[in-house]
Structure 1
Amino acid sequence: MSRLDEIKGIITGMEDDMVKFYEKGNKAAGTRARKELQGLKKLAQEVRLEIQDIKNNG
Structure 2
Amino acid sequence: MEKFARLKEVVAAIEADVKKFYDNGNGAAGTRVRKVMQDLKTLAQEIRIEVTEKKNSDN
The two structures have a TM-score, normalised by structure 1, of 0.92
In the alignment, structure 2 segments of 5+ residues that lack a partner are none
In the alignment, structure 1 segments of 5+ residues that lack a partner are none
Contact 2:20–2:26, Cα closer than 8 Å, also in 1 = yes
How high is the sequence identity, in percent, across the aligned residues?
Answer: 47
Contact 2:7–2:40, Cα closer than 8 Å, also in 1 = yes
The two structures have a TM-score, normalised by structure 2, of 0.91
* Count of residue pairs the alignment pairs up: 58
Note the 1:23-38 alignment, pairs <5 A: 23-38=23-38
The alignment's C-alpha RMSD in Å is 1.2
